[in-house]
C-alpha cells in the first residue's frame, strides 16, 4: 500500500477529520477509516459492501467497467488460452508462474494428495441418497478437520502449506464422490496417471462395468471451467472464508463456510439456477414473457446468469467460456437440446433489449458454464460443486494471504441500531 500522504477531509458535527488515503497499483484509491469511530464516534454504513474495501490483496484485480480480470497481473483470457488449472493454482498460491521443474513438483504433490482417508467414505453414508451434493460437500469438507489433525494449526506455515495442497487435491474426489453417492453408483478412486481435470471427469463418469475414456476436448473444457472460476477478488464466498479465518478457525472449517456461501443462487448457485430457468422457460417463444418478468419491479424473478455486482460490462470469463461452450456443443452435436436452444435465443434477445443494456446486465460466467456442464452430462445439482471445486484454490490463496498478514485481526463489523432503547421487563400477568 503506497502511503502518498493524500488525505480526505470528513466533516462530522462541525468537526473536520483528516482521513489517510491509500493508492493501489490499480483501481480506486481507498479512504482509511480505521480510526474514524475512535476519533469521531461515528460508523460508516455500507450494507452489501458496495463501496467498502475489506482488505488489501495482491492476488486478483477486477475492473468492472473495462471487463478486466487479472490473476497476479496476468489477464484471464491469456491464462485460459495458454495456461492450465494447476499452473494457475501455483500462480494464485505463490504469486509467480512456475519454472518447469517447480510446476512438475507442484503437480506431483497435488496428484499424490487426491485420495481421501478411507474412513471418510463412511461419512457419506450418513446422507440420504437424494441429498444435494453441496450439502454433502459442506459436511465432508468440514469433517476434514476431524481427519487431518496434522494440518489444522494455522500458526504453522508448514501445516498451512499441507492443508492448502490437501484441499486443492481432494476437492475433485470429494465432489465426484458426492455425485456418485447421489446416483447410487460406487465411488471411483483417483488415478495418478491422469491430469487434474481428466481425473475428475473419470471419477464422475467411470463405472466398474466399463471404464470412461476421457475425451481431450471435454477435459480441456473442464480445465478451462476450473481456470475461469479459480478466484475473483473479495466475492461473497471469499469474504466468508476470510471472516471465518479471522477468528483462527482451521482451514477445513473455513473452506466449508465458503462452500455454504457459494451455494446461494445469487452467487455460485446461479449456474444451477440458470439451467433450471432455461428448463422453466422451455421454448424460445416463451422468452419474451420471462424477459418482461425480469424487467418487472414487482416481480422478484431475475434472469439467472445475467448481471454482476462488479462487471458493468461483459464478464471477461464469459467471453472465454462462450468459446468453450461452442466447442463442446459442436463436439457433442447437441444443437437439438431445448435448453441450449433457449439459452442461445435468450442471450441474443437480452443483449438486444435496452433494459439490459442500460442496466449493464450481460451474461456472466455462470450463464455459459451451466450450458457446458449440461452438455457434458452433469445434472444441474453438480454445477455449484464444480464451481466450489475450482474456487477452492482462490479461497485457500486468499486465506493464506490473510493469515500471513501482520495486520490480520478478527473481523467484527458494527451496525446501525434501529431497535428498542432500554425498557423494563413486564411480568406476564401485566402484558
Q: Give contact residues for ligand SDX (rule: CB under 6 A).
A: 232, 235, 266-268, 270, 294, 302-310, 359, 361, 364, 366
Name the minimum Å distance from CB 268 to ligand SDX: 6
Residue 284 DSSP symbol:
G
Name the minimum Å distance from CB 24 to ligand SDX: 18
C-alpha cell belonging to residue 84: 492450465
Sign of the Cα torsion 109, 138, 279, 270 reads negative
Name the minimum Å distance from CB 131 to ligand SDX: 23
The Cα–Cα gap between 124 and 104 comes to 33
CB atoms within 10 A of CB 235: 23
Instruction: Report residue 368 CA to chain centroid gap.
Output: 15
Closest to 397 measured CA to CA, from 96, 14, 80? 96
Name the minimum Å distance from CB 153 to ligand SDX: 29
Radius of gyration of the chain (CA): 23
Q: Which residues are catalytic?
A: 308, 366
Name the minimum Å distance from CB 372 to ligand SDX: 16
Do 221 and 373 touch, CB atoms closer than 8 A? Answer: no
Residue with smaller CB distance to ligand SDX, 197 or 270: 270
Q: Which residue is nearest to ligand SDX (CB)?
A: 307
Residue with smaller CB distance to ligand SDX, 22 or 309: 309
- The strand order across the sheet containing 60-63 reads 60-63, 68-71, 74-75
Residue with smaller CB distance to ligand SDX, 199 or 272: 272
Name the minimum Å distance from CB 392 to ligand SDX: 13
Sign of the Cα torsion 194, 387, 118, 153 reads positive
Residue with smaller CB distance to ligand SDX, 106 or 362: 362
Name the minimum Å distance from CB 71 to ligand SDX: 12
Alpha helix segments (H runs only) across 71-156: 76-82, 85-94, 100-111, 120-124, 133-143
Closest to 223 measured CA to CA, from 339, 367, 107? 107
Name the minimum Å distance from CB 150 to ligand SDX: 31
Residue with smaller CB distance to ligand SDX, 98 or 269: 269
Alpha helix segments (H runs only) across 263-382: 270-281, 287-295, 316-332, 338-352, 354-358, 365-376
CB atoms within 10 A of CB 314: 16
The Cα–Cα gap between 231 and 239 comes to 12
Closest to 174 measured CA to CA, from 194, 130, 205, 144? 144
Residue with smaller CB distance to ligand SDX, 109 or 381: 381
**Three-class DSSP category at 376:** helix
The Cα–Cα gap between 74 and 77 comes to 9
Residue with smaller CB distance to ligand SDX, 142 or 268: 268
List Cβ neighbours of 90 (8 Å cut-off, separation of 6 or more): 97, 98, 102, 103, 106
Residue with smaller CB distance to ligand SDX, 202 or 339: 339
Amino acid at each position: 500500500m503506497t502511503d502518498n500522504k493524500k488525505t480526505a477531509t470528513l466533516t462530522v458535527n462541525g468537526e473536520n477529520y483528516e482521513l489517510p488515503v491509500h493508492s493501489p497499483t490499480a483501481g480506486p484509491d481507498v479512504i482509511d477509516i480505521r480510526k474514524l469511530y475512535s476519533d469521531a464516534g461515528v460508523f460508516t454504513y455500507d450494507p452489501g459492501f458496495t463501496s467498502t474495501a475489506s482488505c488489501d490483496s495482491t492476488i486478483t484485480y477486477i475492473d468492472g467497467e473495462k471487463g478486466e480480470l487479472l490473476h497476479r497481473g496476468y489477464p484471464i483470457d491469456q491464462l485460459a488460452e495458454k495456461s492450465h488449472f494447476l499452473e494457475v493454482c501455483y500462480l494464485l498460491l505463490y504469486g509467480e508462474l512456475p519454472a518447469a521443474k517447480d510446476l512438475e513438483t507442484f503437480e506431483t504433490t497435488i496428484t499424490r494428495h487426491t485420495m481421501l482417508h478411507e474412513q471418510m467414505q463412511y461419512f457419506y453414508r450418513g446422507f440420504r441418497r437424494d441429498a444435494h451434493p453441496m450439502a454433502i460437500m459442506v459436511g465432508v469438507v468440514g469433517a476434514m478437520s476431524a481427519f487431518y489433525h496434522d494440518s489444522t494449526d494455522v500458526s504453522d506455515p508448514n501445516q498451512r502449506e499441507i492443508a492448502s495442497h490437501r484441499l486443492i487435491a481432494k476437492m475433485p474426489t470429494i465432489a465426484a464422490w458426492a455425485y456418485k453417492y447421489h446416483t447410487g453408483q460406487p465411488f471411483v478412486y483417483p488415478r495418478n496417471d491422469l491430469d487434474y481435470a481428466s481425473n475428475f471427469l473419470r471419477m464422475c463418469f467411470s463405472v466398474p462395468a466399463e471404464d470412461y475414456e476421457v475425451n481431450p476436448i471435454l477435459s480441456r473444457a473442464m480445465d478451462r471451467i476450473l481456470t475461469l472460476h479459480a478466484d475473483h477478488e473479495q466475492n461473497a464466498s471469499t469474504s466468508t472464508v476470510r471472516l471465518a479465518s479471522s477468528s483462527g478457525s482451521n482451514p477445513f472449517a473455513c473452506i466449508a463456510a465458503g462452500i455454504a456461501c457459494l451455494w446461494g443462487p445469487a452467487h455460485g448457485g446461479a449456474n444451477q439456477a440458470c439451467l433450471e430457468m432455461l428448463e422453466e422457460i422451455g421454448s424460445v417463444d416463451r422468452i419474451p414473457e420471462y424477459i418482461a418478468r425480469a424487467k418487472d419491479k414487482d416481480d422478484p424473478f431475475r434472469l439467472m446468469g445475467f448481471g454482476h455486482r462488479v462487471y458493468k460490462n461483459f464478464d471477461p470469463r464469459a467471453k472465454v467460456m462462450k468459446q468453450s461452450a461452442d466447442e463442446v456443443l459442436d463436439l457433442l452435436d447437441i444443437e437439438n437440446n431445448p435448453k441450449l436452444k433457449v439459452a442461445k435465443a435468450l442471450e441474443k434477445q437480452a443483449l438486444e433489449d435496452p433494459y439490459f443494456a442500460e442496466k449493464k446486465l450481460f451474461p456472466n460466467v455462470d450463464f455459459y458454464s451451466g450450458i457446458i456442464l449440461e452438455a457434458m452430462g452433469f445434472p444441474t445439482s453438480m454445477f455449484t460443486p464444480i464451481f466450489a471445486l475450482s474456487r477452492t484454490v482462490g479461497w485457500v490463496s486468499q486465506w493464506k494471504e490473510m493469515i500471513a498478514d501482520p495486520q490480520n485481526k478478527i473481523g467484527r463489523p458494527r451496525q446501525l441500531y434501529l431497535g428498542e432503547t432500554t425498557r423494563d421487563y413486564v411480568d406476564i400477568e401485566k402484558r
